[in-house]
Amino acid sequence: MNPVHGTWEPRPAARWEDAFLSGNGRHGILVFGDPDDDRVVVTHHTLVRPNGGEHARPPELAAELPALQDRLLAGDLTAAESFTDGRPLQWVQPFHPAFQLRLRAASPPPEPHDHRRTVDFTTGEITARRADRTGQVFVSRADDVIVHRVTAPDLHLSLDHRLPGAPADLAVGHGAVRIPEGALLTLRARYPASERGYTGVTLAVVTGGSTELALPGVRITGAASVLLLTRVRRHTGDLDLTAERRALAALPHSYDTLLARHLALHRTAYTRVTLDLHADPAERALPGSELLKRPDSPALLERLFAAGRYHLLSSSGLNPPRLTGLWTGDWDTAWSGAFTHDANLNLQTASATAAALPEVTAALAGLIHRQRDDWRENARAVFGARGMVAPAHSDGESGLSYHFSREYPLHLWTAGADWLLKPLVDHDEAHGVRDPRTAAALAEVARFYEDFLTRTDAGGRLVVVPSYSPENRPANGSWGALDAAMDLSAARHALRTAADRHPGPDADRWRALADRLPPHRINADGALAEWARPGLDDTYDHRHLSHLYGVWPLDEITPYDTPRLAAAAHRALALRGAENDSAHGHLHHALIAARLLDGPRVGHALAAVLDGDFFHASLMSAHYPHRHVYNADAAHTLPAVLIEALIHSTPERLVLLPAVPAALPAGELRGVRTRFGAQADLFWGPRGLRAVLRPTRTVRVDVRTPDGEARALDLVAGAEHVLTAGTWHLPPPMEGTPWHHTHGPGSPRP
């Protein structure tokens, strides 16, 4: 295992949070890695527990909307607090684990010092090895099956539903039968007071030895090896176990064959982008738990970057990652383990385009397009409008907006659809194609704004009313307000982007509507105001940075095109507090700082996470410091932060080393994708920088290097372009030119 592209520990995991992870975007596993009593917790993206959310609908409030708008426009700042149908807070259906596969060895263990468990990011394999036995397991992207090979000759196998928080009244049935291949184990579970449930099936293919029933599992004696193939299915009513057995039996009963089929998909995706910070080989060799004690180590950033891309890829398939990715070992998952759309999912998928993971973008697109009917229902029920409004939370089944309360009036939030669609727009730009589904979705968002943006102020400007800035409120007002900066930016972006993809009368109307929205406001502190409406004061100490949406992920506010607004945004960022020290707040801060060319601020935000004990030994992260509340935000967002600090692109611009923190003095970033259609390799250090561009289309871009000057660069499809700055010049640049570019065979490692 390459020490940069994997991690290891010298002992089994004692907590499920430290278990190593693998997944294929549908099935996930958490592996404790004890050769004597291994536990493999099985998860699946579809496993959400009925809690009433499956029947919930959005509130029918459209008829009351004009009266609410009148009150807010008249200065009643608390009017939105009563804009509800009186229901209590309803959480979305909570994500939960299925069961654990238990593998208990019969023979006593040798001395414990020879234990080693590893996860190889390039393959997705988790291995637990000791002198006398080995277990290897991965989740196949090709065959959607958990594949486990064990060499211990004597084992007891069982499927065990007893995990933390499992409902006492969960109806569970176990089954085990001997078959010619070895044995078939099943676990059926039905949710309390529901016809819905799930079934786990494990086919044990036993080579040599004997197999006997030892209910609720089987005992294997004298085997040369055991191959386990496991799947879980969510269903209503009974599952056809005969069909499931046949499907598993039809797979190759060879670990190596199944692995080879999986690698064609997983390894290809994982290896597209790599980060090398020239770290100390001795530090690279450390176990992850020891490396985490060295927050200033380049080796730690290398490993967290690699682990972040690995976990993001592994949790993306049927769906993008949840708050916990694809993993949990506890039925009481924080915040229901939902897809949270007002920051968390958006941050986790931030690197999808640049980090060359179209698998993540495809998973996000799948979630969006499956829920568009529900988004239409949200627009109709709450706003009386055509088009679509995304909810703030989803369980993956429903996209209806029913999770809201007085303190969190999330049903008022209208910017979510634009934020969720933004990575799909970036993907289209990077690949030079336009997905018609994305264009159609943008058109529906634009139609919503046509119907919703009808109220004006005394000067004839449109007013976004009601307006909500997640999850904050004005210091002198209430949660439902007017003209939140995020809503303004999202509406402008959605209308103009939809117009670009739908030329004609619709486009003319949408652009005209966007032009009538009010500009951003700069407050008395010189900061970009969170609410553009005069008279609404900012609340600075908050984990969300919704008002800086125009800086990141949009390019509405930049130091190059809108320097006055960029300076105000930078002031707003400097005034923002960390509130409760949530990981997503720190890294959201870093992403915005990178766009505003503030390397020290990027470094400070990174240090807050690296010094704050946010990462488990699994290299999955927590929501709060000291590993409190298992959560994927930091793990999945960190690669995006490092990429944004080193390279940023738009369809017309390339920015090299925009905000390099002191933690990244030198290194190589290879394989990054730009939004103008080129693959980029970047090399930087004390001698300067070198960038190698391999464009797939011919385009002119504005190039910016650390000196801040702009140069036009004409890229030719299929021709390699090399940019250099500092002392890496061949030949030396002309006087007064801080950088130059050449067409050539590429660049050697500096």
Kindly tell me if the per-residue pLDDT of 161 is higher than 80.
yes
Residue 699, pLDDT score: 97
The rounded distance, in Å, linking the Cα atoms of 14 and 6 is 20
Contact 599, 645 (CB under 8 A): yes
Mean pLDDT of 425-432: 98
Which secondary-structure segment (H or E) carries 351?
none
pLDDT at position 733 over 70: no
Note the residue count of the chain. 750
- Does 249 score more than 70 pLDDT? yes
pLDDT digits (tens, 9 = 90+) for 618-661: 999 999 999 999 999 999 999 999 999 999 999 999 999 999 99
Over range 103-117, report the average pLDDT.
76
Average of pLDDT values for 216-244?
Answer: 94
Distance (Å, whole) CA 701 – CA 706:
16
Give the residue among 263, 309, 255, 232 at the shortest CA–CA distance from 28: 232
Give yes or no for residue 559 having a pLDDT over 80: yes
Residue 742: pLDDT band with limits 50, 70, 90: very low
Homologous superfamily assigned to 653-743: Golgi alpha-mannosidase II (2.60.40.1180)
Average pLDDT over residues 226-250: 95
Q: Which fold has domain 63-91+291-522+530-550?
A: Glycosyltransferase (1.50.10)
Residue 685 in this model has a pLDDT that exceeds 80: yes
What pLDDT is recorded for position 748? 28
Q: What residue ranges do the domains of the chain occupy?
A: 3-48+94-271, 63-91+291-522+530-550, 653-743
% of the chain exceeding 90 in pLDDT: 90
| Residue 749 pLDDT grade (very low, low, confident, very high; cuts 50, 70, 90) | very low
Tens of pLDDT, residue by residue over 197-207, are 999 999 999 99
Find the farthest-apart pair of alpha carbons in the chain and give their distance in angstroms, rounded: 86
Compute the average pLDDT of residues 145-171. 95
CB atoms inside a 10 Å sphere around CB 628: 13
Please tell me the CATH code under which domain 3-48+94-271 is placed: 2.70.98.50
State mean pLDDT over 378-389: 98
Rounded mean pLDDT of the chain?
94
d(CA 277, CA 664): 7
What's the N-to-C CA distance of the chain in angstroms?
Answer: 25
pLDDT at 110: 59
Q: Which residue has the higher pLDDT, 129 or 273?
A: 273
pLDDT at residue 729 in the model: 36
> pLDDT band at 1, cuts 50/70/90?
confident
DSSP code of 288? Answer: H
Q: What confidence tens digit (pLDDT) does each residue in 525-544 have? A: 999 999 999 999 999 999 99
> Which residue in this structure is represented by tokens 């090299």?
656
- Span 119-145, average pLDDT: 95
Structure confidence at residue 111 (pLDDT): 62
Rounded Cα–Cα distance for residues 333 and 324 (Å) = 8
